[in-house]
Chains A and B, each alone.
Chain A
Amino acid sequence: MTDLTRLNAASLADLIATKQVSAVEVATAHLDRIAAVDDRVHAFLHVSRAEALAAAERVDRGEVTGPLAGVPIAVKDVVATEGIPTTAASKILEGWKPPYDATIVARLKAAGMPILGKTNMDEFAMGSSTEYSAYGPTKNPWDLGRIPGGSGGGSSAAIAAYEAPLAIGTDTGGSIRQPGAVTGTVGAKPTYGGTSRYGLIAFSSSLDTPGPCARTVEDAALLHAVIAGHDPRDSTSINQSVPDVVAAARLGKNGDLTGVKLGIVKEFAGDGSEPGVTAAFRESLDALVKLGAEIVEVSCPHFEYALPAYYLIAPSEASSNLARFDGVRYGLRTGDDGNRSLEEVMSLTRDEGFGPEVKRRIILGTYALSSGYYDAYYGQAQKVRTLITRDFQSAFEQVDVLVSPTTPFTAFPFGSRTSDPYQMYLADLFTIPTNLYGGPAISVPCGLSEGLPVGFQIMAPTMADDRMYRVAAALESAVGTLTPPAL
């Protein structure tokens, strides 16, 4: 019999819709796979077996239909799931069960997608390796001694390890795309405002964007279509129709990119990428040219300031957002001995509940927002954000999409970048500009460097998510997908 965990989401949906397999069989196969391998991978913080099987039964009874009905999914632990523990991989929320669903989770449920569990991540989505999870890191299925990327390393590793065919990630500075790149999977960040933030535990509200993780571009597009669209509960949700990303992915599969202009960013050259990353990227460019695409070099002079601007803006917003963890409304409270004041209890709770990277960013953000420094740091970073947006707009007058490696280096060994926080931040060098601009971007596997996956990034104009899916599917048709070694 076919191993159901090896099939992509589109095939599983077909088999379930035509009653060749039941949704319960599909959910069970993935739950069994999790039970068999997750002690080694540690992609999951919580497995919701009973809830997943109940949702699958509803599909089998014909109560829910849809393009992905019965296809199980893993959800990053920063997304609220009613009654299922949601911790953002932080001790401060250990055991918290949200009293409501995030909008995107409500949409998954309405689409008949059983939720397998909650995936590991860097605490509050701050990091590029899952090493900042309070519950221990996730291992990369390609090499269990290496990081799976971050912050959404659990979601991408779950897919790469065949524990789930699809997963939800969130991308603030690259947290969907960089894990996708280093695990050899697809990860897409939709246009900011294209997918609802309602029910995401906020990190940096002007940047946070939930999106799909998958093993194929078409699967990512199918999931994108389920979760995207206007949500009145998110005041920054875009009230426009969602581009037809599924049709675009299917169009791209035919491998014809005649007349499509791909921009390569001059300022990204000489950026310190590993030679194997650069080589795989160049070979993919050649493959795209063979499909009819034209390569144009464009200049984005402010991109080199994206990383510093991001590491002012995101921590500033985080320092404000994480003020809600005060030991009063949910989560941990420590040191409440009847003698200490609210402020003392709050400070002890936050010091015990938050890990080192979260504390660093809260303090950094507090600094960047404090009077006397505001203009030089946060204010200046917001102006740089405007200039980066203008760079994108000017580039998209010349080309259809921009392309780059997703991240400068492949999966690195555990512990190799934790001593110097800035070395970790460099993982996001190529992914961050898009977040500041707000456009969509996708990472697609494009080859191996010394046996480890390399990601190819495609960035498109805001609300042109369909364009990136088309190019991504064309690239996938040319270079194929990647299969990790057996666990």
Chain B
Amino acid sequence: MAAISREEVAHLARLSRLAVTEEELDRFAGQFDVILQSVARVGEVAADGIPPTSHSVPLTNVYREDVPTPSLTQEAALSGAPDAYEGRFRVPRILDEEE
């Protein structure tokens, strides 16, 4: 049995904001099956009661002095934007026309 269906891959691609093509879906679905069966091996390890490690450095909240320092200018921050308008990032519409 496949570990993951083509429909599930399509759903995950939507969640990931990837407009994948039908051809990509066909290819990825088969490849994910192999990859997932391999990575699922982590389940073989008896790890009940073992604390998770998110990070190898034993640090919690790192604070700095709350002092203003220079940062990027508005112009520099917008320098790589695909579209800008009056000093701001310009985006496609986020609401439907009728809303």
Contact = CB atoms under 8 A, between A and B. Distances in A.
Interface of A: 96-100, 192-193, 206, 232, 235-236, 238, 302, 305, 307-309, 311-312, 319, 323, 326-333, 336, 338, 340-348, 350-351, 354, 356, 359-360, 362-364, 366-368, 370, 376-377, 379-387, 389, 420-422, 425, 436-438, 462
Given A347-B14, A389-B53, 6 more contacts: A99-B77, A350-B16, A351-B18, A362-B18, A366-B15, A422-B34
Given A99-B79, A311-B35, A366 B16 contact: yes
Contact of B62 (A96, A235, A368): A235
A262 to B, nearest CB: 23
A347 B14 CA distance: 8
A238 B42 contact: no
A421 B17 contact: no
A100 B79 CA distance: 11
B80 A99 contact: yes
A312 B39 contact: yes
B54 A206 contact: yes
What does DSSP make chain A's interface, helix, strand, loop or mixed? helix
Interface string B7-50: 01100111111111100100110011011101111111101001
B52 A383 contact: yes
A336 B16 contact: no
A97 B12 contact: no
Interface string B70-99: 001000110111110000010111101000
Contact of A97 (B14, B20, B79): B79
A66 to B, nearest CB: 25
B79 A383 contact: no
Contact of B94 (A235, A319, A341): A341
A236 B55 contact: yes
24 contacts: A99-B79, A193-B57, A235-B59, A305-B42, A305-B45, A309-B39, A311-B39, A319-B16, A330-B80, A347-B14, A350-B17, A351-B24, A363-B18, A364-B39, A376-B40, A377-B39, A380-B42, A383-B51, A385-B52, A387-B45, A389-B56, A421-B31, A421-B35, A462-B56
